[in-house]
Every structure is written in structure tokens, then in C-alpha cells.
């Protein structure tokens, strides 16, 4: 046995690399594995800390074991300044051995791009021998919401209170301590936090002791050893927060918000227990005996799944029943379920690398809906899943900008960020739901339980999950297709368009497929085909509750289903449980239209009505069918009174309304006519018998009617605005927006003052995003300047700014002018040029005039070089704007003509007239 000791200053031992960084250089070599970290941190947050304020002292001992003999140690470090770096062999018997000093090889390097430090020894480390790496260092507590960072709030005494919090995913643990900062390098952690007596601390595990420090007024908080886990899941919090808790579970917040923690405390405990039951593994038996959830004033993500210390934006955790809307309460329950699901999918079993992010996030998004539904079963979340997740991700996944769920081309920080997109989350959850309906819920549940048991405290790859599914898929008649279904949707981009052709005699349906693409010739691979589970219902068998596939459509193989009696209509993809769009013959589309106008929509499920609406609008947008056919079938919406189909409709109409720009007079009438029944039935008057979906539908219908010219809607909303303190909470988003859209400086000032005194995060968020509803130039500039100021937190700037150009089409030009004239100030406010490039790209996506496109070109020519690598976003925005202009030239004319003809008709269709009479009589009877 021998011992080694290396003591060097980082300034001399860590020299910046001068070589070009290759993609593989972004990954650590796997010849050394961490076993355990012992971390001690002392943050400086007090004003009396003077020049040390917003820095921290750190010391860490890392036990590592080389798998081969080596003289190099590779690990991550970023923005840390070292005063001591040393290591020695760990004695097998635990005794203390006097270390031996050795000189340092100056060839050691730090790669600034990868944050990888290479420490070189003159004596080789022995394979399978344990070593201790010891580092003493200082770091910065910056305000960018990454690493170990600072956040603040102003308390009721108008005092600024500073806190220290963490956000390590995906690659920011290296900013708090030197580490093997990749998910596959799991280890255990011991954390000790030194804090002033006025503060308290929290970390992943239970506090096992708090001891007076030698420095007067300071204490050392010592935490129990964590489970075997990845670095990105470690967390700590230094604050003056209060805690609502029982023996195992707690919710932490600033003291003034203690009353707002009750709902998340209740629902968090229930959801955690129910997910544990479903997975047959109680959370407290996974290896951590506590669960805390903390509301952080400044937080970059919506929330984070640190094992045992979940961290959230305040609006994602805190509820005031008198103020917080039902939709916000649902969002809070859902994000709690999402983060808690990660305790099993992500923390217990972790994706080996971010190429497989969907193994973490797909399941968390799945349980975000179906885990919440275990407890809050009145919200019909299984229906909301379809319009929120499936239909929303289909737009991105039908362009060349998409990526596969399993993407092995993942190396750089930009690649890592890309993997946290709707493909990993929405498509991942959609794919998981498709597998559940294909193999059956019981087998699906059993396979998840077995997967977790087999790979607990380990890293996972998609093949492990497939094997678990296949084990329980064996009794299914689709088991032979399981691997093909899995690989075609996880390793390929996109999804199929299924062409279901009902024969003229109604006795057979033939099926073929091709990849669905919104744009032709955009560089996307149009030849991709998939292995697809197909379910369907017909007018003769309209069982929309049976979602089990009837057959598997294989790539490149046509399939035909025959029927003993002639069908009138045929609808594929029952409850949209599989991931594909469907197109039919024109005759079948018309038959579906006829069925939808019959009583109770002929029993066609509301999810399938939503699917029909979404498919029609996107098929027409892509040129697969004519807009005349689409709009003809969509006339059925005059009878629609359900939230799910209307959400699909509004999502589709949003694209068209953007393309119309400011020429929306006929569109105004169209929206009012289609929504007449829903508007008359719901109105502004809430009822105690309203379902959650009726409450949500009322908000959408009112928002669209008030925005698109319904004078009665505007009048009632303005009346509510005149008494701001009594606006029903679920109507506030509509009332606030109408008040600013139709008002002036007085109305803005009233809402601004309400924002300045808000003490509920969800209400504060609603108020600040309502600011974007203003229309006159002076107020547009005022809101823009608020974004530049510190009055809007960094985490919220993007959302507030986006409403300024999305709520009113006529704002696109003035906001673009402001952004491009003050882009440097905006970059400073939003944390960099990348954020500004994204804003410009989003605005450019709403351009409808050639002159706007030319203005973008001029800006890019003059300024793109200042944006660094983000200039690619600016040039991509040019391409998008040009594509939209070309699309409008080729396709928008048909829509305009339809609106003009419909609006100019002297006589409403007989169907529409009957509908109007029916709705009017109904409204009178209900008074």
C-alpha cells in the first residue's frame, strides 16, 4: 500500500486548454468512479460579510475507485477557485496514514468548454483501490439561478432577505463542488452547511445534528447520508423560511407565505402515497426517510426533483384559496405529481445520459396527469392530457426542427438543453400512454414495478425499459411487434399520417401510412414509416371506451379491415391513444360531419371530436386536404359545448388568426358565430355545479369572444374591471386583459398598483402577464421597460414580454421595433443574447408582411455577429418568416374567401338558424 498527496494552487494546476473541443471531449472518461462525497459549505449572505457577500467557501472529500490503472483523474469544475488540491490512497483498515507530498505535473489542463479538469499524477493509481480526493476552494453565489446561487425577497417589514438555493440539473453541480457531474456517476453524499444563527438550512436528507461552530453566532448543520444518486439531484437551501411539516413531510416557504402552503402540503402527501401504491414501492422505503418541498422566489425551472428536497417557483407550490384560480391549483397539483414521480423515475432509476432524458421526463409528465388523477379525480385529466400533451407536441414533431426521443447526438450544453424539450416530455409521455393502451394497464403497471426493482439505484437505458415491457407483453397478441413499436417511435423522429380509406360500398377500410409533415421540402425525412397500433370505432360499433388496438400496421405494408355490414362512418385512433394523425376519404369526412351534427354527436367521444378538429386543421395547413373541406366539417362546432374539442379548435384557430394579422373583421364574426351556443350557455355567471372543464371552457370562450369583437363580452368584462377587488378569481385573466386592451393609462395604473401589492404568487403572475394586453404605444413601451427593470423577476421576463406581442396582433410591429432598438439592454436584463434571439424569432414567426421580413433581414445584417452562436436563431427566424409569407400567399386566400362568403351570406344556413333559435330559447328559459 502507498499513499499520495498533491497540494497545488488551482492557478498553477488548472491551465486552460488550447485545443479545439471535439464532441466526445464533453463526456467524462469512465475509468474512475466516485463512491462518496463529503461536502462542507459556508455561504456568505449577510451585509456584514462585506466583500465576501455572495460567495461561499467549500471543502469536499471524494472517495473514488479507478477501474484500471491510471495516472489521470478527470472530473468537472466551473467557476471555482482552489486553495488546496490533494489526494491519497484510502487505508483499507480505516487508519490514518501520514500523506506523502508529490510534485505536480504542469501539463494538467482545464477545458473551458467542457469544464473538465484533468489532474495528473506521477505515480499510477491502482485499479480497484479506493482514493480520497480533497479540495478546498471558494465559489460565487451568482443570480443566474444555476449552481449554488442567491435569491431574495422583500418581507412585510420592507427588508430584503437573501437566501442560498441550488439548481444543478443538468450540469451545474460543478459550480458548487468539483464532481463527476454526469448522471451515470452515482454516489452517496454527506452534506454539512455552516450558517448564521438567523438562518436555517435544508438538504436532501434529515438533519441529524446542529452544532455551535468556533465562529461566534454560527452553527454547523449536519445531514444524513443520501441514497446512491447522481450529482444533479443534490440540493441545499439556506434561508429564513418557515416549515409546515409532520414527521416525514414538509413544505418550506418565506414566513409570510406559510398560510399558502396548506394545499400543497395536503395534496403532496396524498399523491406521494398514491404513486407509491401504483408502483408497489412506498417512497419512504426507497432510501430516504424525508420529503420536503420548498418555494423559491427565483427559480429557473418550474420545479426540480432533488431527491428529498423538491424545489419550486413560488407560483408552482403556493395556494391562496380566495385568490388562486382553479387552473393554477390544478397546475400546482400537477407539478407536485411530476416532481414526486421523479423519485422513482429519475432519482431511483436514472437515465444513464441525457440522450435518454425521456426515461426521466416522459414518466414524470405521464404521472403529472395520471398521478394527480389518483387524488384529484374530478378534473378529467385523462382528457386534458390529449389536448395538452399529444396535440401540442405534434406540431414540433412534424417539422425538420424535431429530434428523436432517444438522441445519441447529445454532448454539448446546447445539446443537453435541447433534450429538455417537448419531445422528451410530451412525446415521451404520449409514447408511454400508447404502450399502456396497447399492452393493457395491468401488464403495464406490473412491468414498471419490475423495472424499478431490477434497476433501482442504477442508471438506465431505453433497452432496459423495453425488456421490462416485453416480459409482461408476452401474453398479448401484439408481443411480436413490441420491439418494432418501441424503436420506430423512440429512435425515429416524427409520427405517421394514417390514410384510412372507407370503400364506396362501406364494407372495408384500407390503411396505408406516410410521415406527416407540416411543410414540404423543409429538409425533413419524408420516407420514415412506423409500426403503429391501430384502434377504431364505427357507426355500427361506436364503443369509444375500448382503446385496445384492433391490429398493428407494419411499415410499408398496406392493411385492410372488412365488415359484414356497410359502414356509414369510420373513425380511427379511439380516444387518441396512439400517436398518429388520420385522414379519410372526402365521403367519410362528410359522413363524420353529419354524425357530429346529430344528437349527442352520435356518441363520438369528446376526445375523438377534439382529435377530428385538430387533424382537420393541421391536414389543411399542410395541404393534405382543402380548407373548404376542413371548414365545412368544423361547422359542427356551432353545437359543441365541451372543453376538449374547443381547446383543439382554439389552438388551431390561433395559427390562422396570426396569419391574418390585423385583417380580422370576418374572422371576428366567424368566431362569435361558432361559439354562440357555448358563450350563451356559459356566460360570465359561474355556478356551484360547474365542472372543472366547464370553468376552463368559460375562460377560453370569454377570452376569444372578448378579443374577437363580441360587444356583450367586452361590456361585461369592463363592468367587472370597474370593481377590481370583487372579480371572481376564475374570470380574472379575461377581465384584466379586456380592461387593459380596451382601456388606457388609468386602467393600467389600477392593475399595476394591484401587482405591486400582490402577496400571492399565482395572482402576481396573472397580473404581470396581463400587462401584455395593452395596445397603445405609450403603454407598450411602459410594459417593455418593466421587463428591462428589476420589477419583473428574471424568471418571468420572457413570459411577460411574450404576452406583449401575442395578445394583440397589432403589437407585433411596435414590440419588434423596441426589441431590435434596445436589444443590448434586453440582453442584459434577460441574461444574454440567446434569450433575445429567441424573442426575435418568436416575434418573426408572427410576421405577415414582406416589409416586416425585410426589417428582420436588415437587423440581422447589422447585428447578428454580436449574438455569437445564437445568430443561427436569427437566421432561422428569417427562414420561418419567409415560409409563413409563402404559406399565406398559397393557402390563406381560401380561408379569407370562406370567411368573406360566410360573413356576407344574406341568410344563415338552416342549421345555424335552428341552432341560434335553440340557444336563444334555452337562454331565456334558464333566466
Least confident of 14-23, 148-157, 226-235, 643-652: 14-23
Last residue of a domain, one of 493, 510, 531: 493
Shared-domain flag, residues 70 and 204: yes
Three cell numbers, residue 792: 419583473
SS3 state at 54: coil
What are the backbone dihedrals phi and psi of residue 71, each rounded to the nearest 5 degrees, phi first?
Answer: -115, 10
| Catalytic annotation present for 849 | no
| Cβ–Cβ under 8 Å, residues 884 and 659 | yes
φ/ψ of 426, rounded to 5, equals -65, -50
Residue of higher predicted confidence among 913 and 283: 283
Q: How confident is the model at residue 249 (pLDDT cuts 50, 70, 90)?
A: very high
Distance CA 452, CA 458 (A): 10
Together in a domain, 231 and 354: no
Domain final residue, candidates 195, 223, 240: 240
Q: Is there a domain that residue 211 lies in?
A: yes
Q: Indicate if 96 and 219 belong to the same structural domain.
A: yes
Which residue is associated with the grid cell 393609462?
Answer: 745
Query: What pLDDT is attached to residue 111?
Result: 81
Same domain (yes/no): 230, 93: yes
How many structural domains is the chain composed of?
2
Residue 87 sits in the same domain as residue 206: yes
64 and 207 within one domain: yes
Residue 542 clears pLDDT 80, i.e. is over it = yes
Q: Is the pLDDT at 54 greater than 70, yes or no?
A: yes
Phi, psi angles (nearest 5°) of residue 719: -65, -45
- Tens of pLDDT, residue by residue over 167-204, are 999 999 999 999 999 999 999 999 999 999 999 999 99
Is 153 inside a domain boundary? yes
Is 293 contained in some domain? no
Share of the chain above pLDDT 90, in %: 88
On whether residue 802 sits in a domain, the answer given is no
Q: What is the mean pLDDT of residues 650-666?
A: 96
pTM > 0.85: yes
Determine the 3-state secondary structure of 361 from DSSP. Answer: helix
**Residue 514 domain-assigned (yes or no):** no
Whether residue 56 contacts residue 80, with contact meaning beta carbons closer than 8 Å, is answered with no
- Across the strands, what pairs with 303? 312
* Phi, psi angle pair for 545, to nearest 5°: -95, -20
The C-alpha atoms of residue 844 and residue 856 are separated, in whole angstroms, by 8
Concatenating the DSSP letter of every residue in 95-132 gives: ------EE---TT-EEETTTTEEEEEEEEEEPTT--EE
Q: What is the pLDDT of residues 706-726, one digit of tens each?
A: 999 999 999 999 999 999 999
Range of the domain at 92: 31-240
- Angle of helix 794-806 relative to helix 812-821, nearest 10 degrees, comes to 140
| Residue 436, domain member (yes or no) | yes
Collapse the DSSP code of 524 into the 3-class scheme (helix H, G, I; strand E, B; otherwise coil) and give the result. coil
CB 600 within 8 A of CB 537: no
Residue 598: C-alpha distances to residues 8, 616, 694 (Å): 81, 19, 22
Mean model confidence pLDDT for the chain = 92
Name which of 105, 309, 283, 300 is nearest 204 in CA terms. 309
Domain boundary among 454, 474, 493: 493
Report the C-alpha gap between 132 and 889 in whole angstroms: 67
In contact, 553 and 531? CB cutoff 8 Å: yes
3-state secondary structure (DSSP) of residue 217: coil
Q: What is the pLDDT of residue 15?
A: 30
pLDDT at 655 over 60: yes
Determine the pLDDT at residue 53: 98
Residue 295: strand, helix, or coil: strand
Closest-CA residue to 712 (of 720, 729, 695): 720
Checking if the pLDDT of 102 tops 60, the result is: no
Q: Is the pLDDT of residue 139 over 80?
A: yes
C-alpha cell recorded at residue 777:
404605444
Closest listed residue to residue 292, CA positions, set 307, 281, 313, 302: 307
Mean pLDDT, rounded, for 230-245: 98
Cell numbers 405494408 correspond to 557
Burial class (CB in 10 A: 0-12, 13-18, 19+), 821: exposed
User: Band of the pLDDT at 922, cuts 50, 70, 90?
Assistant: very low
Closest C-alpha among 106, 107, 109 to residue 74: 109
Whether 73 is covered by a domain: the verdict is yes
- Confirm whether 882 is domain-assigned: no
For residue 816, give every residue at least 6 positions away whose Cβ sits within 8 Å of its Cβ, in sequence order, or none.
Answer: 805, 840, 843, 844, 852, 855, 856
Per-residue cell: 516? 406527416
Same domain, 232 and 357: no
Which parts are annotated binding residues?
A: 338, 342, 361
515: Cβ contacts below 8 Å, ≥ 6 apart: 494, 495, 496, 497, 524, 525, 526, 527, 528, 529
**Could you give the angle at the alpha carbon of 494 between the alpha carbons of 492 and 498, nearest 5°?**
115
CATH number, domain of 412, equals 1.10.390.10
Q: What residues contact 50, with CB distance under 8 A and at least 6 apart?
A: none
pLDDT of amino acid 780: 98
C-alpha of 737 from chain center: 25
Residues 121-150 have a mean pLDDT of: 93
pLDDT for 97? 62
Please check whether residue 340 is in contact with residue 275, taking contact to mean a CB–CB distance below 8 angstroms.
yes
Is the CB of residue 693 less than 8 Å from the CB of residue 642?
yes
Residues 258-280: tens digit of each pLDDT: 999 999 999 999 999 999 999 99
Question: What confidence category does residue 905 fall into, taking pLDDT thresholds of 50, 70 and 90?
Answer: low
Mean pLDDT of 128-149: 95
Catalytic residue among 339, 501, 747, 807: 339
Q: Which residues are annotated as a binding site for Zn(2+)?
A: 338, 342, 361
Q: What is the pLDDT of residue 98?
A: 58
The DSSP letter of residue 822 is S
Burial of residue 540, with CB atoms counted within 10 A of its CB: 0-12 exposed, 13-18 middle, 19 or more buried = middle
- Residue where the block lists cell 424545489: 311
Instruction: Tell me what pLDDT residue 475 has.
Output: 61
d(CA 679, CA 497): 34
Quote the CA–CA distance of 601 and 644 in Å, as a whole number: 14
The CATH code of the domain that includes 130 is 2.60.40.1730
DSSP states along 697-752: HHHHHHHHHHHTT-HHHHHHHHHHHTTGGG--GGGHHHHHHHHHHH--HHHHHHHH
Ordered alpha helix ranges (H), 296-427: 326-341, 357-370, 381-385, 391-396, 413-419, 422
For 600, counting Cβ atoms within 10 Å of its Cβ (0-12 exposed, 13-18 middle, 19+ buried), the class is: exposed
Please give the DSSP secondary-structure letter assigned to residue 23.
G
Measured CA to CA, the distance from residue 644 to residue 701 in angstroms comes to 12
Amino acid at each position: 500500500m502507498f499513499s499520495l498527496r498533491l497540494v497545488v494552487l488551482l492557478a498553477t494546476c488548472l491551465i486552460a486548454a488550447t485545443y479545439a473541443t471535439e464532441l466526445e471531449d464533453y463526456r467524462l472518461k469512465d475509468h474512475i468512479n466516485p463512491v462518496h462525497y463529503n461536502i462542507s459549505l459556508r455561504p456568505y449572505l449577510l451585509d456584514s460579510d462585506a466583500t465576501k457577500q455572495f460567495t461561499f467557501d467549500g471543502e469536499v472529500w471524494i472517495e473514488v475507485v479507478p477501474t484500471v490503472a491510471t495516472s489521470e483523474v478527470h472530473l468537472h469544475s466551473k467557476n471555482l477557485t482552489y486553495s488546496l488540491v490533494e489526494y491519497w490512497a484510502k487505508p483499507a483498515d480505516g487508519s490514518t496514514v501520514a500523506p506523502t507530498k508529490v510534485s505536480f505535473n504542469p501539463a494538467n489542463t482545464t477545458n473551458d468548454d467542457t469544464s473538465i479538469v484533468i489532474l495528473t499524477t506521477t505515480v499510477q493509481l491502482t485499479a480497484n483501490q479506493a482514493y480520497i480526493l480533497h479540495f478546498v476552494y471558494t465559489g460565487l453565489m451568482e443570480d443566474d439561478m444555476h449552481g449554488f446561487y442567491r435569491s431574495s425577497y422583500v418581507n412585510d417589514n420592507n427588508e430584503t432577505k437573501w437566501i442560498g438555493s441550488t439548481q444543478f440539473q443538468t450540469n451545474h453541480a460543478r459550480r458548487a463542488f468539483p464532481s463527476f457531474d454526469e448522471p451515470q456517476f452515482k454516489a452517496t453524499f454527506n452534506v454539512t452547511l455552516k450558517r448564521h444563527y438567523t438562518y436555517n438550512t435544508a438538504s436532501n436528507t434529515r438533519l441529524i445534528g446542529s452544532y455551535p461552530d468556533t465562529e461566534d453566532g454560527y452553527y454547523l448543520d449536519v445531514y444524513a447520508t443520501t441514497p446512491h444518486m447522481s450529482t444533479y439531484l443534490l440540493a441545499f437551501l439556506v434561508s429564513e423560511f418557515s416549515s409546515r411539516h409532520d414527521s416525514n413531510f414538509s413544505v418550506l416557504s418565506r414566513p409570510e407565505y406559510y398560510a399558502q402552503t396548506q394545499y400543497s402540503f395536503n395534496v403532496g402527501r396524498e399523491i406521494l402515497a398514491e404513486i407509491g401504491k401504483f408502483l408497489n414501492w412506498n417512497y419512504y422505503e426507497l432510501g430516504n426517510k424525508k420529503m420536503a418541498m420548498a418555494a423559491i422566489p427565483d427559480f429557473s425551472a418550474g420545479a426540480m426533483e432533488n431527491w428529498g428536497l423538491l424545489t419550486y417557483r413560488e407560483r408552482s407550490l403556493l395556494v391562496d384559496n380566495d385568490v388562486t384560480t382553479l387552473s393554477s391549483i390544478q397546475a400546482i397539483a400537477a407539478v407536485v405529481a411530476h416532481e414526486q414521480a421523479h423519485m422513482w423515475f429519475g432519482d431511483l432509476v436514472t437515465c444513464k445520459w441525457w440522450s435518454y432524458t425521456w426515461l426521466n421526463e416522459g414518466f414524470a409528465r405521464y404521472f403529472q396527469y395520471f398521478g394527480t388523477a389518483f387524488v384529484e379525480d374530478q378534473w378529467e385529466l385523462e382528457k386534458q392530457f390529449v389536448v395538452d400533451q399529444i396535440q401540442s407536441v405534434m406540431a414540433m414533431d412534424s417539422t425538420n426542427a424535431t429530434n428523436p426521443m432517444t438522441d445519441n447526438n447529445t454532448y454539448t450544453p446546447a445539446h443537453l438543453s435541447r433534450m429538455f424539450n417537448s419531445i422528451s416530455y410530451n412525446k415521451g409521455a404520449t409514447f408511454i400512454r400508447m404502450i399502456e393502451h396497447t399492452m393493457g394497464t395491468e401488464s403495464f403497471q406490473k412491468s414498471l414495478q419490475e423495472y424499478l426493482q431490477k434497476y433501482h439505484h442504477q442508471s438506465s437505458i431505453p433497452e432496459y425499459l423495453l425488456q421490462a415491457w416485453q416480459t409482461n407483453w408476452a401474453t398479448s397478441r401484439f408481443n411480436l411487434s413490441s420491439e418494432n413499436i418501441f424503436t420506430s417511435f423512440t429512435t425515429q423522429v416524427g409520427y405517421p399520417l394514417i390514410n384510412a380509406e372507407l370503400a364506396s360500398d362501406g364494407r372495408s377500410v384500407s390503411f396505408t401510412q406516410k410521415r406527416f409533415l407540416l411543410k414540404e421540402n423543409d429538409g425533413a425525412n419524408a420516407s420514415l414509416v412506423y409500426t403503429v397500433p391501430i384502434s377504431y370505432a364505427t357507426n355500427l360499433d361506436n364503443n369509444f371506451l375500448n382503446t385496445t388496438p384492433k391490429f398493428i400496421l407494419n411499415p410499408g405494408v398496406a392493411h385492410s379491415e372488412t365488415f359484414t355490414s356497410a359502414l356509414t362512418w369510420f373513425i380511427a385512433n379511439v380516444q387518441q391513444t396512439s400517436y398518429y394523425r388520420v385522414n379519410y376519404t372526402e365521403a367519410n369526412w362528410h359522413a363524420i360531419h353529419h354524425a357530429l351534427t346529430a344528437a349527442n354527436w352520435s356518441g363520438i367521444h369528446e376526445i375523438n371530436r377534439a382529435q377530428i378538429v385538430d387533424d382537420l386543421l393541421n391536414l389543411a395547413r399542410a395541404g393534405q386536404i382543402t380548407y373548404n373541406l376542413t371548414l365545412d366539417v368544423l361547422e359542427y362546432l356551432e353545437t359543441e359545448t365541451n372543453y376538449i374539442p374547443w381547446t383543439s379548435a382554439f389552438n388551431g384557430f390561433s395559427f390562422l388568426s396570426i396569419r391574418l394579422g390585423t385583417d380580422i373583421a370576418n374572422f371576428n364574426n366567424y368566431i362569435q358565430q361558432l361559439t354562440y351556443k357555448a358563450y350563451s350557455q356559459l356566460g360570465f355567471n359561474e355556478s356551484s355545479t360547474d365542472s372543472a372543464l366547464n370553468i376552463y371552457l368559460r375562460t377560453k370562450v370569454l377570452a376569444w369572444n372578448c378579443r374577437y369583437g363580441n360587444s356583450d363580452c367586452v361590456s361585461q368584462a369592463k363592468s367587472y374591471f370597474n370593481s377590481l377587488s370583487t372579480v371572481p378569481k376564475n374570470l380574472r385573466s379575461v377581465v384584466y386583459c379586456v380592461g387593459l386592451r380596451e382601456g388606457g393609462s388609468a386602467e393600467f395604473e389600477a392593475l399595476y398598483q394591484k401587482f405591486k401589492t400582490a402577496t400571492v404568487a399565482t395572482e402576481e403572475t396573472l397580473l404581470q402577464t396581463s400587462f401584455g394586453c395593452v395596445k397603445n404605444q405609450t403603454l407598450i413601451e411602459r410594459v417593455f421597460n418593466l421587463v428591462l427593470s428589476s420589477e419583473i423577476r428574471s424568471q418571468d421576463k420572457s413570459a411577460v414580454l411574450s404576452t406583449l406581442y401575442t395578445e394583440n396582433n397589432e403589437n407585433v410591429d411596435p414590440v419588434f421595433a423596441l426589441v431590435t432598438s434596445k436589444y443590448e439592454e434586453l440582453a442584459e436584463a434577460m441574461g444574454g443574447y440567446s434569450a433575445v434571439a429567441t424573442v426575435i424569432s418568436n416575434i418573426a414567426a408572427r410576421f405577415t408582411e414582406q416589409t416586416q421580413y425585410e426589417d428582420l433581414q436588415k437587423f440581422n445584417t447589422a447585428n447578428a455577429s454580436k449574438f455569437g452562436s445564437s445568430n443561427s436563431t436569427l437566421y432561422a427566424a428569417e427562414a420561418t418568416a419567409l415560409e409563413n409569407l409563402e404559406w399565406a400567399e398559397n393557402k390563406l386566400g381560401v380561408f379569407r374567401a370562406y370567411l368573406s362568403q360566410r360573413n356576407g351570406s344574406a341568410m344563415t344556413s338552416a342549421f345555424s338558424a335552428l341552432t341560434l333559435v335553440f340557444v336563444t330559447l334555452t337562454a331565456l328559459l334558464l333566466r
